[in-house]
Amino acid sequence: MAHNIPTELKYTKDHEWAKIEGDVATIGITDFAQSALGDIVFVELPESGRTLTAHQTFGVVESIKSVSDLYSPVSGTVLEVNSSLPDAPELCNAEPYTGAWMIKVKLSNVSELNSLLSATDYQNFLSTL
């Protein structure tokens, strides 16, 4: 099955995406992740102001099939949390790259962006699963 993989985003092998704008990363889960999870019924996100390190768990997504941890692709401080997701977790299925962004993080180590996957690399990774 083909998945939507916007080329302007960066990706992780944990199926998170990051949209980089200056020193801020907007983070969410990929189309592949929401598809694999099925109907998402619950989202738990961190408080604004929390400091994250790359690969650290920052929240949880629960579907009718399973519970999955969310991993930050970058280190930094949570600037903003998508406050609509706890009340509308189904946005993760409907709009994984737009309405269902999860957190915005002020980057503390821009060089970490070099370890993220391009859209092509992520597509190639998915083909191995």
The CATH number for 55's domain is: 2.40.50.100
* 113 found inside a domain: no
**In 3D, which of 110, 115, 128, 127 has the Cα closest to residue 16?**
115
Give pLDDT, residue 1.
56
Is 60 exceeded by the pLDDT of residue 44? Answer: yes
88 confidence band (pLDDT: 50, 70, 90): very high
Note down the domain range covering 82.
Answer: 10-108
Is 60 exceeded by the pLDDT of residue 121? Answer: yes
What mean pLDDT value characterizes the chain? Answer: 96
Tally of structural domains, the chain? 1
Q: Which residues contact 123 (CB under 8 A, 6 or more apart)?
A: 5
Q: pLDDT tens, 1-12?
A: 578 999 999 999
Is 60 exceeded by the pLDDT of residue 14? Answer: yes
CA distance 61 to 58: 10
